[in-house]
């Protein structure tokens, strides 16, 4: 499975924060393809069509952003597929720090993002 770059944005957890981020990206034709937002400090993780440009745009808007390498796994939408992948990583000592994903209704595939301790090694194992 391939590695990819995602945005990591640290922002205050208050009304309008995610809207401001999304509006800033939209005005600059950056498409959001995946999203996770959690925690009291509002760590927002996003897959976007142009991560490097998105970082520049957000920093110009005074929004703290950086890129981070993650593993993007495309799995069959069946019981046990995620268990097999995560077990393989665990057996090789690769820690999963966080994960997020989705299955589009009616789709046969799930897109899962894994934030792991060693993205390059993990992508070779999966």
- In the DSSP assignment, the letter for residue 14 is S
* Domain ranges (residues) in the chain: 3-69, 70-125
Contact 67, 55 (CB under 8 A): yes
Distance of CA 87 to CAs 2, 47, 66, 97, Å?
A: 18, 25, 29, 14
CATH of segment(s) 3-69: 3.30.2130.10
- The reported pTM is 0.82
Residues in the chain with pLDDT values less than 70:
1, 110
According to the model, what pLDDT value does residue 1 have? 62
3-69 matches 70-125 in fold: no
Give the integer Cα–Cα distance in Å for 126 and 114.
Answer: 11
Tell which residue, 37, 116, 111, has the closest CA to residue 69.
116
Question: Quick one: 70-125 is in which CATH superfamily?
Answer: ACT domain (3.30.70.260)
According to the model, what pLDDT value does residue 80 have? 95
């Amino acid at each position: 499975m391939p590695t990819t770059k995602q945005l990591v944005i640290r922002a205050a957890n208050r009304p309008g924060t995610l809207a401001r981020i999304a509006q800033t990206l939209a005005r600059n034709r950056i498409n959001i393809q995946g999203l996770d937002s959690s925690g009291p400090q509002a760590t927002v993780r996003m897959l976007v069509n142009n991560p490097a440009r998105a970082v520049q745009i957000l920093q110009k808007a005074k929004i703290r952003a950086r890129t981070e390498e993650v593993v993007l796994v495309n799995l069959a939408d069946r019981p046990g597929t995620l268990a097999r992948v995560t077990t393989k990583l665990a057996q090789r000592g690769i820690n999963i720090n966080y994960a997020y994903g989705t299955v589009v209704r009616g789709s046969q595939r799930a897109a899962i993002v894994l934030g792991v301790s060693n993205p390059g090694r993990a992508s070779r194992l999966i």
